[in-house]
Amino acid sequence: MALEYKNNRLIDRGKTLANIKKDRLNSGIGSSAICNVKDDRVRDKIGSSVVCNVKNGDIREKIGSRRLEKVKDIRKEIKNAESLSDVFVAAVWWYFMR
């Protein structure tokens, strides 16, 4: 998978997988929410159930402390990911790269 972040969109080989608007990761070019981000937590759709959180540069499970992946390793796999916040990097990893 060759993911690229460009103009608030996550692109894979020319196809828009998702877009970022405010605190949401939306599917394709539409406004259907895949997840929302609040503080350091990634929440499913527009609800409040936490799927992962970010702390000290690590992506951790739900609200726990077990490390799943490092944010800096994920950034290396996404072109232009420097402009994404750690929490959005975690959201992209959770929904598209895991």
Q: Could you give the angle at the alpha carbon of 87 between the alpha carbons of 52 and 80, nearest 5°?
A: 130
Task: Name 36's Cβ contacts closer than 8 Å, sequence gap at least 6.
Answer: 23, 24, 25, 42, 43, 45, 46
Query: How far are the Cα atoms of 13, 14, 25, 52 from residue 35, in angstroms, in the given order?
Result: 22, 22, 5, 11
Q: How many CA atoms lie within 13 A of 42 on its CB side?
A: 25
pLDDT computed for residue 36 by the predictor: 97
Full-model pTM = 0.94
Residues 50, 3: Cα–Cα separation, whole Å: 24
Per-residue pLDDT of the chain (98 residues; tens, 9 = 90+): 689 999 999 999 999 999 999 999 999 999 999 999 999 999 999 999 999 999 999 999 999 999 999 999 999 999 999 999 999 999 999 999 99
pLDDT computed for residue 2 by the predictor: 83
Place of tokens 């608007």: 21
pLDDT computed for residue 1 by the predictor: 67
